Each structure stands twice: as C-alpha cells, then as structure tokens.
C-alpha cells in the first residue's frame, strides 16, 4: 500500500491552501480531487471580497490557487474518496481507484447547496442564480431579485440583500415560514421584502442572464411570472462528508466538529473549510482554515516521526509516559530528567496525554508508566509513581 505523509481530500480554497502551507513546511503532500480544482467558487461569476483581489471570476481565483500549489510541486491525483478508515492506528484513505496510508489527513471536501431542481437553475448558475448572498449580493445593486426558501438562512439572506436590491421577493412553498420569529419580524418589517407563500418556482428563464421566474401556486395551480435579475436559492446546504460517518465526530447535518487547530475527534485527522461546523463559509475563511490545518498537521507529523525515531527504531530504550495535564505527573517528569544520565540505556520521556495514539498502540492502561522497548516491540511495562519506581524498573 502506498504511504504518504499528508493526504489532503478536496481541492477547493481550503485544500489548495493546505497544500501550499504543507509543501512550504517540507511535507510530502498528495492532494486528491474528484473534479476540477476550485470547489464551489468555480461557479461564482465574480468575486470582490477576497483580500488583495479587487475583482476576479471564481474560475480565475481557483486557477490562481492551483497555480500557487503547483508552484510548490504539490502532487495532484484524481479520485473520489469513498471511505476513511482507521486500522491498527493507521489512517487509510480509500478512493475509487486505490487505498493510501497517511501519517495525517486533512478533510477539505467542502459542502454542496441543495438545489430546487427546476428548469433553468443549472443553466443560469453563475449568471443570475446564486447560492450565496454575501458573495454575490453586491452585483444586484438597485435590481429586483428573488430568494427561494423558508428557513432562517432564506429569511436572513433576504434581509441582507435589501442592502443592494430595490426589491426582494421571498418565495416559499408553504403557507408559513420556518424561520425564527425574530428573523421574520425583522424581514417583514422591511418594505423592500415581498413574501410569496404557497408557491414554487416552476422555471427560471432569460437569455444570457436571468430575466424572470415562473411561479406556480401549489393550492390553486395558478401560474404567474416575475421579472427580475437574480435568484438566490436557500433551501439548504449539506457537507460532502458521507465517508466520515462513524469515524469522526459530526454535528446535526453531518458537519465535522473541529478544534481551533482544525483537529477532529481522531488524532492525525484534520478538517478545513466548508465541510466543518463553522460560523461563516467564505473563500477567505476556507483559506485560513487550510493554513491552520496544514500547520497543525505538520506539528503532528513531526511529533509522530520524532516518537518513531525515539521509541520504535532503537534496539533498546526505556520510556516514561506521563500526562502533561496532571501536576503530580509533571513533577515526576522533572525528576525523571535528572535520572537520564544514571541509566545505562537510551531513556525517553513522552507526553502520554498529547500522544494518546502511541500510548494506546503500546497497550498502556494507565499513566504514569514505564516501558521497555526492543526494536519497537514492547518487552515489558509497569505503572510507576515516583523516581524510585523508575530506577527499579530500569535496573531490572
């Protein structure tokens, strides 16, 4: 089986940024993507809110991200990730073509917007149909637009769009909106918002750009048209993360839970960008996540390689595993440092709290504990409580 240091899943802004930072840190990086690199931004007609880029199409920005990653000789490989497995402490990425073992993995597979599915939606995506008011709202200054949806996102984004649009139709298939009362009160007190209930968008039509929507009333079957310049779809968003179910901790909806260092619930696996449980999903935040995840992965890989050279390669080594969050054990590690010169064999001190996977791999049931290893094989281990216990263990 092929083995790599860092495998990144997904080539959107977070994955490409992680590749740049990973390569610059000296890591062996493999980036797996099932389609054209760039993620959701490739369907955005114009981007004006990425720092340093006054205006660019989503495709142009995506191409610049990829060119930057290629500059540092990132290896790209096409494939669809089917599973992420943990076997005997090893992290294995399963694609439709192969299995790859990785020292660390960054999940950056992004999210996808749920579609209405009506004629014209796909054709005009990026040409008047949008799934992000923050991204594209400013392009509809003094225009008429529609928002499709009835939840919090739809109602809040309709209110946001009134900063730019002269009129915002809020279209919902039911007779009552599902959004919170405070959001509804704020939106419906705005004279620019026109709610339309019991209606579905039958089609989105135009020439080169969106020009109108055709509505059908679900109770009367009456068909009507609304001339407008833009349609914003907010019927839901979901992560591209089916393959992590049962492996990583996720929140309602399947969003991956991470720490501020982009660490998931499994040591050595990180998540970045829209796939994780996060407040804002934008190109700039995804890129920031990618940078953080890559540097956290670098720290993890460096620590793992250090531990392997420290514990698994020597012919004989004694190691004290102690927790860095227990005051008595911290004190014991200080005493153990003074004993290093008195022990006639290599002696290592390992943070068993931070390196839980190594602790588990060696079969240690409690901390602090002493271990004797011979070429990576555990000869014996024993719980210790003081410096005398360490001395006795090493003299046997």
- pLDDT tens figures, 377-392: 999 999 999 999 998 9
| Model confidence at 45: pLDDT above 70 | no
Q: Buried b vs exposed e over 84-110: b needs ≥16 C-beta within 10 Å? A: beeeeeebbbbbeeeebbbbbbbbbbb
Active-site residues: which are they? 132, 135-136
- pLDDT tens figures, 198-234: 999 999 999 999 999 999 999 999 999 999 999 999 9
Residue 185, pLDDT score: 93
Up-side HSE of residue 132: CA atoms within 13 Å toward CB?
21
Q: Are strands 317-322 and 347-351 parallel, antiparallel or unpaired?
A: parallel
As given in the structure block, the two tokens for residue 48 are: 């004006």
Q: Are 41 and 57 in contact (CB under 8 A)?
A: no
Average pLDDT, the chain: 92
Strands (E), 79-134: 81-87, 90-95, 99-107, 111-113, 129-130
- pLDDT tens figures, 329-360: 999 999 998 888 777 778 999 999 888 878 88
Residue 31, pLDDT score: 98
Q: Three-state SS for 150?
A: coil
Look up tokens 């620590």; give the residue.
303
| Model confidence at 65: pLDDT above 90 | yes
Which of 115, 127, 163 is CA-nearest to residue 44? 127
Q: How far is CA 153 from the centre of its chain?
A: 20
Strand partners of residue 318: 347, 372
Residues 64-73: contacts with CB within 8 Å, 24+ apart?
65/13, 65/16, 65/17, 65/37, 65/38, 66/11, 66/16, 66/37, 66/38, 68/16, 68/20, 69/16, 69/19, 69/20, 69/23, 69/31, 72/19, 72/20, 72/23, 72/24, 73/23
CA separation for the pair 395, 142 (Å, rounded): 83
- pLDDT tens figures, 11-43: 999 999 999 999 999 999 999 998 777 777 776
Confidence of residue 281 (pLDDT cuts 50, 70, 90): confident
**Which residues make Cβ contacts (< 8 Å) with residue 185, sequence separation at least 6?**
none
Q: Which domains can be identified in the chain, with CATH numbers?
A: 2-112+237-307 (3.50.50.60), 129-233 (3.50.50.60), 314-395 (3.40.30.10)
Position with higher pLDDT, 4 vs 304: 4
CA separation for the pair 292, 286 (Å, rounded): 10
Confidence of residue 287 (pLDDT cuts 50, 70, 90): very high
CA separation for the pair 374, 388 (Å, rounded): 23
As given in the structure block, the two tokens for residue 395 are: 């003299």
As given in the structure block, the two tokens for residue 47 are: 């981007």
As given in the structure block, the two tokens for residue 173 are: 């298939």
Residue 380, pLDDT score: 93
Residue 236, pLDDT score: 86
- The percent of residues above 90 in pLDDT, for the chain, comes to 72
């Amino acid at each position: 089986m092929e083995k790599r240091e860092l495998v990144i899943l997904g080539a959107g802004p977070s994955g490409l940024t992680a590749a740049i930072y990973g390569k610059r840190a000296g890591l062996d990086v493999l980036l797996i993507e099932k389609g054209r690199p760039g993620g959701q931004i490739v369907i955005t007609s114009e981007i004006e809110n990425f720092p340093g880029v006054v205006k660019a199409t989503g495709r142009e920005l995506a191409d610049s991200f990829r060119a930057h990653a290629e500059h540092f000789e990132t290896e790209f490989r096409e494939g669809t990730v089917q599973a992420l497995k943990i076997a005997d402490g090893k992290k294995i990425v399963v694609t439709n073509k192969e299995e790859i073992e990785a020292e660390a993995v960054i999940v950056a597979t992004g999210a996808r917007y749920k579609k209405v599915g009506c004629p014209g939606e796909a054709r005009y995506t990026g040409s008047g149909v949008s799934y992000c008011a923050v991204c594209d709202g400013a392009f509809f200054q003094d225009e008429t637009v529609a928002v499709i949806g009835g939840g919090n996102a739809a109602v809040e984004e309709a209110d946001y769009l009134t900063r730019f649009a002269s009129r915002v139709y809020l279209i919902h298939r039911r007779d009552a909106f599902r959004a919170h009362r405070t959001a509804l009160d704020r939106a419906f007190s705005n004279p620019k918002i026109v709610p339309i209930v019991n209606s579905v968008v039958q089609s989105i039509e135009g020439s080169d750009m969106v020009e109108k929507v055709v509505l059908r009333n679900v109770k009367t079957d009456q068909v009507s048209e609304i001339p407008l310049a833009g349609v914003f779809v907010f019927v839901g968003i979901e992560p591209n993360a089916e393959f992590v179910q049962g492996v990583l901790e996720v929140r309602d909806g399947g969003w991956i839970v991470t720490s501020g260092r982009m660490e998931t619930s499994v040591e050595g696996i990180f998540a970045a960008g829209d796939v994780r449980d996060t407040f804002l999903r934008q190109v700039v935040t995804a890129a920031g996540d990618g940078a953080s995840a890559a540097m956290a992965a670098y720290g993890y890989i460096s620590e793992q390689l250090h531990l392997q050279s420290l514990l698994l390669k020597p012919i004989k080594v004694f190691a004290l595993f102690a927790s860095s969050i227990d005051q008595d054990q911290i004190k014991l590690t200080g005493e153990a440092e003074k004993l290093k010169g008195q022990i006639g064999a290599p002696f290592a001190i390992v943070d068993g709290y931070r390196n839980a996977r190594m602790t588990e791999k060696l079969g240690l049931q409690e901390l602090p504990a002493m271990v004797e290893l011979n070429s990576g094989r555990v000869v014996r281990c024993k719980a210790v409580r003081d410096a005398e216990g360490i001395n006795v263990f090493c003299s046997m």
